[in-house]
Amino acid sequence: MIEIPFWLVLSLLAVLFWGIGENFTKKATGVLRAPTMLLFYAWAALVVWGGYWYLMGHPLMPLTSIATIAGVFASIFFAIGMIFYYVALDIKFSKISIVSPITGAVPILTVLLAVIFLNEKIHILAAFGIASVIFGTLLLGIKDLKEKYNKRIYLLSFFCMILWSVGDVLAKVSIDMSSHIYFMLLYFVIGFIIWNLYYVTYSKKIMTSNERAKEGITYGVLSVALFTLGSIFIYLAFELGLVSLVSPITNGYPILTVVIAHSFLKEKLTTNQKIAITLFIFGTILIGVT
């Protein structure tokens, strides 16, 4: 009988939370705009991650440790990347199906950096699994990526992908030398500061329609709550598994977004989407058994 590694279970739980959350993200961002979504994310992180850190024993480490330095830089990269993510979604005519496949390419660079700088060894079957998951995620947006949209959408999504990729590796360094709890403490403090500063600077970009704002707030709260809860599973998975294996799985959440849209919103699956789902499942199985 094949034993499923716990880091894989955690990674799939993260996919579940992020996949559900992303169904609300674009609707919320279209109404509340990027600054408000980032404000919501800041406070959600404070409550969810701060509460988790406190309940788990609120560990602290010396400020001079490498874990802190790596964690601070990872947090900055993640926080700025999140700004790019929401701003890309906030641009007129932007779509989740454009932004997600580009940001979902995070594992391509993350795996490369993990192999080079963290000396992570990847089994040949796992390598095929990683390639299958990444290609499946990218396949979701190939049709939309062919269309001509505002270049800023592509540029911001690409910068987000770069920042999150480097952040993944730095987060792994920080977590290995401390714990996922300590890293999340750094992230919610730094993210809280950066996202609130962004809100204060750009808060004029907010819808004033009370009716639309009420709907947006509901979607926004659900979205950021699920994202921050899902992140707990991601960073715990980083602590227990290789980042070169965890990252491809967790960044496959757009595939679950498509499945949920098909199941609950009655959207018809395209051939590309069916192939993407199959590749993700196949790749996950390969990664899990190695």
CA–CA dist 247, 193 (Å, integer): 26
Chain mean position to CA 235: 11
> Measured between alpha carbons, how far is residue 211 from residues 75, 208, 215, 217 in Å?
35, 9, 7, 10
Taking only the tens place, the pLDDT of each residue in 34-87 is: 999 999 999 999 999 999 999 998 877 777 789 999 999 999 999 999 999 999
Task: Report helix, strand or coil for 283.
Answer: helix
Tokens of 283: 């790749």
- Number of Cα atoms under 13 Å in the Cβ half of residue 170: 21
pTM: 0.88
Find the mean pLDDT for residues 14-18: 93
Q: How confident is the model at residue 220 (pLDDT cuts 50, 70, 90)?
A: very high
* Res 57: pLDDT: 84
Q: How confident is the model at residue 215 (pLDDT cuts 50, 70, 90)?
A: confident
CA–CA dist 244, 107 (Å, integer): 7
**Residues in the chain, overall count:** 290
Higher per-residue pLDDT: 183 or 4 = 183
Q: Please, are residues 187 and 48 in contact by the beta-carbon 8 Å criterion?
A: no
- Compute the Cα dihedral for 213, 216, 218, 221 and give only its sign: negative
Mean pLDDT of the chain: 85
Taking only the tens place, the pLDDT of each residue in 160-208 is: 999 999 999 999 999 999 999 999 999 999 999 999 999 999 876 565 4
Chain mean position to CA 166: 13
* Res 143: pLDDT: 60
* Res 146: pLDDT: 57
* Res 212: pLDDT: 66
* Res 48: pLDDT: 95
Taking only the tens place, the pLDDT of each residue in 97-137 is: 678 777 878 888 899 899 899 999 888 878 888 888 888 77
